[in-house]
Amino acid sequence: MTAGTLLVYGVHSPLGRRVMETLGSSADIRPVAADSLAPEGLRAAVRDARAVVNAAMGAPADIVRAAERLSAALRGAAPEKRLVHVSSMTVYGEATPYAAAHIAAEARARVFPQTVVLRPGVEYGPGCEAWSGRIARWLEARRIGDLGAGGDGYCNLVFIDDLVRAVLAAAQQTAAPGGVFNVAMRDPPTWNEYLIAFGVALGAIPVRRMTRRRWAIETKLLAPPLKVAELTIGRVPFIARQLPPAIPPSFRRLCTQEIRLDVGATEAALGLTWTPMPAGLRAAAAAYRRKRPRG
């Protein structure tokens, strides 16, 4: 990317934080956080930026709200500006509020001719709480492991730094406008392969073999009360850390999903290569050990 600013919305998401960190030492690109800007300031920042990135994540309402704010700013200031909109592979799966929010957010972004949409898979690595941090806690607590037939679905992994590279490439590639690109490693493992390899990287061995009965107990019987307890006392960190980590039923469904992302167009258009899973897991395990929850 030529010299200038990259406006980043969603700086508190794992991706947003990593983009800001990556560009923090850049002599050519200055990252600017957009989240807290008032409408007038956001329009001015959009007008002055070389490109805009929407990395906002969170609850469905937050995803839609971020897309609406950026859409309004682009319409009012610079509708021809390059927008890199980071969506999710959930748009390919079952109809959930989260998937619907990403579909709605994509629709708002794609009205602009310079928009590039990225649909990442399972983001893992340092700072990725959903798919590294919480899974590490489950593995250490022996709450998950080899899931048998329940873990034979594809785990469309993308190492967080590979996703950052995809964002930066999409922000500067002249051939990408209007494109929609899947972002995940070319040959994804199954969920069983990911969980077992991550357990080994963490030293959480032997990795537990989950029976069908035990897996059902974890996701159907234990998950609801544990989630209620988490929401109730989550503001008391010491007590919250004593709770066993809940495993939601949605995770069980995800582990059987046979969706495999096609990334050929992404590699060709954005020039990406992928971090090998062993290297990514070593980085994820090291980051988790540095921040391992303590009683």
In a domain, 196, yes or no: yes
- pLDDT of res. 218: 83
In a domain, 138, yes or no: yes
In a domain, 279, yes or no: yes
What does pLDDT average to in each consecutive run of 10 residues of the chain (295 residues)? 83 97 88 96 96 96 97 95 97 92 98 96 96 95 93 98 97 84 97 98 95 85 69 56 74 94 95 97 97 62
- pLDDT of res. 121: 97
In a domain, 133, yes or no: yes
In a domain, 232, yes or no: yes
Q: Which domain holds residue 255?
A: 128-156+187-259+275-295
In a domain, 283, yes or no: yes
Kindly report the three-state secondary structure assignment for every residue of the chain: CCCEEEEEECCCCHHHHHHHHHHCCCCCEEEEECCCCCHHHHHHHHHHCCEEEECCCCCHHHHHHHHHHHHHHHHHHCCCCEEEEECCHHHHCCCCHHHHHHHHHHHHHCCCCCEEEEEECEEECCCCHHHHHHHHHHHHCCCCEECHHHHCCECCEEEHHHHHHHHHHHHHCCCCCCCEEEECCCCCCEHHHHHHHHHHHHCCCCCEECCHHHHHHHHHHHHHHHHHHHHHHCCCHHHHCCCCCCCCHHHHHHCCCCCCCCCHHHHHHHCCCCCCHHHHHHHHHHHHHHCCCCC
In a domain, 194, yes or no: yes
Q: How much is the pTM?
A: 0.92
- pLDDT of res. 216: 85
In a domain, 48, yes or no: no
- pLDDT of res. 283: 98
- pLDDT of res. 215: 84
- pLDDT of res. 228: 65
- pLDDT of res. 214: 86
Number of domains into which the chain is organized: 1
Q: pLDDT by residue (tens digit) across 230-284?
A: 666 655 555 555 566 788 888 999 999 999 999 999 999 999 999 999 999 999 9
